[in-house]
Amino acid sequence: MDISSVSDPLRVELNKELHGRPAISLGAPARVSHFAYLSGEDGGRADRKHLQALCDRYGMTRPPAVGRHYMADFGPFFLKWERHTEFTTYTVAVRSGKDVPFTIAAVEAMPRDWVESIPGRMLVALNIELVDANDQTAKEACFTPFWHKDVAGSKVAGGRTSVWSDFRIHDDSFMRLAILADDLSEGRAGRLVQRLVEIFTYSHMALMALPEARAVMAQSSEIEKRLEQTVSEMSHTKAGSEAEHHLDTLLGLAARTEHQVAQSSFRFSAAKAYHSLVERRFEEMRESRIPGSQRLSNFLDRHLAPAMRTCEAAAKRLNDLALRVDRAAGLLRTQVDLDSQRQNKALLMSMNQRAQLQLRLQETVEGLSVVAISYYTIGIISSGFKAAKAAGYPVDAGLFTGLSIPIVMLGAFLLVRRIRKSVMKVSVEA
């Protein structure tokens, strides 16, 4: 039976994701070097190209063109490569011999020129020594770099394995982590190393939001001061150019605030996600306390938690500031609208008064027009009657002229009224 024809196009890709990012199998003693390089969201192509060059040098199979993880045994070293959203990690593992711990890094087994030309900016460089807890000499050598008060240690894997680190960058530019394994299988050791390198990587990625949070706090303070000044001036603002100036100021503050929100929202959201992953990895390790030492999780939480709270406070302050600016702009727009409505009302009242005055003037002119038309018409009629009388007709010019006066005036009134209605009808239709 062939059911592949009805499979979703993403089925195979999603299944690969379930089996992706496997842990390296490690047995004590071993050395691991782990790096995290910031290459941005668009840096995946350059990272893959660089990895392909390494594979070509050793005659290894190239990684997929769009793959996000790759793991292979190159002979002198074992490499695990992972591409994340904005960074890429490289984990190098080698079997260690009788060398003193932390004197030779696992990465030294790789080509120097290739390592030095890895794309991006290095954020994490970590050397790990996995030693047998029953080897007293190696155990004491591992502790030598950690004899100071800031060292943190935890029991993991059921309490038979301990993990130690001071979280410091040493003179060789690497942080150091010692794992003292007691009867730990290669699979469990590999998963433990993977969780630990993820804790170091994700904690640093989370802390990347701290400088952004501090910058947001400083800029928010500046915007808040300008907003308070503008709102204070608004209470004494009258309609006109001054109100428009304040509105322009608020629109500028709103633009700056929204720019900050857009610029920092991804960083703050990413920091929250990375911090959550750090906490999850500690839970998976089932960490327990070593008497006299602070746990790894306590050390990180003591420094990471305040940073995350600062980021949360900065994000909340920025969002609240955006709402305040929007409210202030809304109040000012309402004030400007009310002032505009008052001005429009006054203008309409003035126009109404002028219209009434024009109507009265028009009525006066119409009355005068009736009188003038009647006067000249009666004069013409009177002249006609006088001419008829002079021609010998029996006409009393004065009598007939007097009788025509009301008729003429009524006709003139009706004529003027009809003309006014015609003009008003044309203006309404227009």
What letter would DSSP give residue 72? E
Q: Reply yes or no on whether the pLDDT at 217 is more than 70.
A: yes
User: Terminus-to-terminus CA distance in the chain, angstroms?
Assistant: 81
**pLDDT classification of 76: cutoffs 50, 70, 90:** very high
| pLDDT recorded at residue 272 | 93
Separation between Cα atoms, residue 378 and residue 407, nearest integer Å:
10
- Which residues, including other chains, have CB under 8 Å from residue 81's CB and lie 6 or more apart? 47, 51, 63, 69, 70, 71, 88, 89, 90, 91
pLDDT tens for residues 357-393?
877 777 777 777 777 777 778 888 878 777 777 777 7
Q: What is the mean pLDDT of residues 388-410?
A: 77
Please report, rounded to a whole number, the percentage of residues in the chain having pLDDT higher than 70: 89
Q: Within 13 Å, how many C-alpha atoms sit on residue 246's CB side?
A: 27
Q: How far is CA 268 from CA 124, 314, 395, in A?
A: 20, 9, 111
Beta bridge partners of 131: 180
Complete DSSP assignment for 102-163: TSS-GGGGS-HHHHHT-SSEEEEEEEEEEEETT-HHHHHHHHGGG-STT-EEEEEGGGTEEE
Q: Reply yes or no on whether the pLDDT at 337 is more than 90.
A: no
Separation between Cα atoms, residue 322 and residue 220, nearest integer Å:
10
Strand 175-181 and strand 87-95: the pairing is: unpaired
Q: Reply yes or no on whether the pLDDT at 289 is more than 60.
A: yes
Residue 268's region, left for phi above 0, alpha for psi from -120 to 50, else beta, is alpha
Is residue 29 within 8 A of residue 138, CB to CB? The reply is yes
Cis peptide bond upstream of 29, omega within 30: yes
| pLDDT recorded at residue 17 | 61
